Amino acid sequence: MEPSERAREDAITPAREASVEPISFRQALWYWLRLGFISFGGPAGQIAIMHQDLVERKHWISEKRFLHALNYCMVLPGPEAQQLATYIGWLMHRTWGGIVAGGLFILPSLFILIALSWVYMAFGNLPSVAGVLYGIKPAVTAIVIFAAYRIGSRALKNAWLWTIAAAAFVAIFAANVPFPLIVLIAGVVGHLGGKYVPSKFMVGAGHKADAKTPGRAILDDDTPTPSHALFTWKRFASVLTVFLLIWFAVIGALIATFDWAGTLTQMAWFFTKAALLTFGGAYAVLPYVYQGAVDNYHWLTGPQMIDGLALGETTPGPLIMVVSFVGFAGGWTKAVFGPDALLVSAIAASVVVTFFTFLPSFLFILLGGPFIETTHNNLKFTAPLTGITAAVVGVIVNLAVFFALHVLWPRGLHDGFDWPSLLIGLGAGVALFRFKVGVIPVVLACGFVGLALRFVLA
């Protein structure tokens, strides 16, 4: 490829002449790094930050193309905000632009979570730490209930979808049906619903922005799709081959080093499956992670899972980063490298889990970005997602019930009710529902209340 040709692909310029300068790879890199440290507030907050920065302030991408890219990411499993960053980085600076944008979206959170997880595992039994966690646990329960409400209010628009949500709750709560099977059945129901009662499965039009942005953007409405983003079967095959080789190489190395039954190998396999099931966000896949990590593999306990979710809520990056805590706790508990190397074991497990959780997200963007454009607003593809999203609401309600049982009856249903936890949880709920307080202030305030109660009641 000629240098001039590569330059045209590496920095997109508008189709019509306009006074906009292309963004260099270095400029983009520093922006994505900064975003990784300030991306609080869950997917809605993270998407709002990117919209304000990239559409309104920097004019890197137009309103229409931003929403177009976001709608693609909403169709995919995985964290949509991280995938949106990957998508825009890929459009602007090819494959490495996408890898840098998506990678820097999660790396700061990984480092912060490793540090917090070490404090938790090493010093979690100290009275002060235990007091903070005591207050945070009911706050997390309220946050999960709020997540179910927020998703449900958007997704459950008719009796058909309410029925799917209720059936999913009963299936996982009463019958302990595996989460992947629930997703599969909901997708089939959505497909059939889109075919026979299409009006019931055409719900919403995705995210909407608040304002129109004047002036031209580098990626404007009429900017042609860059050549590297056009779909070709040759490119499709090459990208798929590279990702499969990466996956097989890493998991093959783990098998050769630790055997198939080894903790790190099982984590790699389990979280690969989990990554393919994250329709509806992190809260949707947490029940599946719980079933595997707590019930099947015993990498951590139920209360530790709640604590890990609390830590994940207080760090930047996608909430699914809580799996890094799960990996850290599992590596520490199983002492992968022996009892004298618990920290090394935990860090290795956390990195392995994060790698296999996010590898599919990069694959979906780099492989499917050009192809998904042809399926946008096609009911044949969106109706199954509508069914899955409805089922996700029921699954999240189950997660909230599970957390509430463990928080309000910490020693079992027959051994006393924890009234202080109920009051803290109700206070967190009022702050979230009535006063629209952000998640991080709620978690911090409840942690302070828990710490104060621990010293008052000591």
Span 78-135, pLDDT tens digits: 888 899 999 999 988 999 999 999 999 999 999 999 998 998 898 876 677 778 878 8
User: Does residue 332 surpass a pLDDT of 50?
Assistant: yes
Domain contains 67: no
What pLDDT does 7 receive? 46
* pLDDT higher at 319 or 266: 266
With respect to residue 18, please indicate whether it lies within any of the assigned structural domains: no
Enclosing domain of residue 385 = 108-203+229-457
24: in domain? no
Residue 101 lies in a domain: no
Number of helical (H) and strand (E) elements in the chain, helices listed first: 17, 0
Q: Is residue 408 a contact partner of residue 118, using CB atoms and an 8 Å limit?
A: no
What letter would DSSP give residue 23? P
Residue 148's pLDDT is 82
% of the chain at pLDDT higher than 90: 39
Task: Report if residue 419 sits inside a domain.
Answer: yes
Inter-residue contact 346 to 329 (CB < 8 Å): yes
Tell me if residue 18 falls in helix, strand or coil: coil
- Report the distance separating Cα 270 and Cα 178, nearest Å: 13
pLDDT of residue 75: 66
Instruction: Lowest mean pLDDT of 67-71, 226-230, 265-269, 286-290, name the range.
Output: 67-71
Does 64 reside within a domain?
no
Asked, for residue 315, whether it belongs to a domain, the answer is yes
pLDDT at 19: 45
What backbone phi and psi angles, to 5 degrees, belong to 61?
-145, 145
What digits encode the pLDDT tens for the residues 343-377? 999 999 999 999 999 999 999 999 987 776 565 45
Q: Are 109 and 350 a contacting pair, CB within 8 Å?
A: no
Q: How many domains does the chain have?
A: 1
Beta bridge partners of residue 61, listed in sequence order = 219
Average pLDDT of the residues in 133-156: 82
- Whether 57 is covered by a domain: the verdict is no
Q: Which of 381, 148, 168, 370 is nearest to 288 (CA)?
A: 168
Is the pLDDT at 163 greater than 60, yes or no?
A: yes
Decide: residue 390, CB within 10 A, 0-12 exposed, 13-18 middle, 19+ buried.
buried
